[in-house]
Structure 1
Amino acid sequence: MSGAPRISLLLDLPEGLDKLRAKAAGEGFRFMEKLAAEWLSGANRFAGPGEVLLGAFQATELVAVGGLNRDPYADQAGIGRLRHLYVKKSARRSGLGTTLVLQLLGHAEGTFHSVRLKTDTSEAADFYVSLGFWPVQDRTATHVRWFQRS
């Protein structure tokens, strides 16, 4: 990759999402299909308090996406959920995924007291642990990160 990637707030599904969805599906990740389907149906537009959908662009190419919602699986307020985080294979290990997650967590602070997620790969699990998430035994989440209260 050449040049610094630009991370932007997404207010609509960006051009290039179909290519990124195809790359994710080729790796066996189907959550990008869910992102598009829920957006198109209106079921999830990342529009609630503290919610956001971010995209990372290399020049004009969408190379990563990630969202933050109120956790729909939690039965209490104040819990966010990282969702649909995908970084194109050629953009991994460049710091882009870290930057994207840290920006999502920045949006979460002040609205959520914790953020949960679910992953099914050991590589992603190690990545999230490196960013301060803790493994949890829960049927709806594999990792959680708490925010310090002042």
Structure 2
Amino acid sequence: MGSESVTLRRVHALDGGIARLAGEADSEGHRFMRRLLDEWCSGANRFNGDGEFLLGVDINGQIAAIGGLNLDPYAADARICRLRHVYVSSAARRNGVGSLLVKRIIFDASRSFATLRLRTATPEAAAFYERLGLRKSNQEAATHILDLQA
């Protein structure tokens, strides 16, 4: 992030920029962004429960990254949240955008939840989350976990 204008914002409606991100993710073999669109359109997940949100990062007015927070559907504890659908456009990678996004999500999550969990499928993403302080988990429903009350 050099001299670009970077803005974090809550996402309340999907737009063409988010569809573009989903298309890019699909082309890289990441289906979770398509699932984000499908679940939003069906109403199954609009990140609108207590403490939930979808956050976007705009660079020079164009969405470059997205990620959300839900009550963890795999946990029976309302104090556990799940980091979901984090994607950074290829053009915005390796310049701090992903870290900015996830750190903000973690900060906001700590206001409503005690524990954050996620599942990732790639070693690169696992290493990214570990650099941000999440630890590997042996729980069936999560590859990584973070105590938000520590």
Task: Give TM-score scaled by structure 2 length.
Answer: 0.94
Structure 1 residues 78-128: Cα deviation after superposition (integer angstroms, max 9, x where no partner): 000000000011211111101100111111112110100000111110110
CA RMSD in angstroms, aligned pairs only = 1.3
Mapped partners of 1:15, 1:54: distance in 2: 16
Task: Tell me the matched-pair count.
Answer: 149
Unpaired runs of at least 5, structure 1: none
Which amino acid in 2 is paired with 1:36? Answer: L
Which amino acid in 2 is paired with 1:38? Answer: E
Q: Is the 8 A contact 1:82 1:116 kept in 2?
A: yes
Note if 1:55 corresponds to 2:56: yes
Q: Is the 8 A contact 1:52 1:107 kept in 2?
A: no
Q: Is the 8 A contact 2:56 2:66 kept in 1?
A: yes
Provide the residue aligned with 1:97 in structure 2: 98
Q: Is the 8 A contact 2:81 2:115 kept in 1?
A: yes
Note if 1:121 corresponds to 2:107: no
Please identify runs of 4+ aligned residues in structure 1 that moved more than 3 A: none
| Structure 1 residue 138, shift from structure 2 partner | 2.3
Q: How many percent of aligned residue pairs carry the same amino acid? A: 45
Mapped partners of 2:57, 2:102: distance in 1: 11
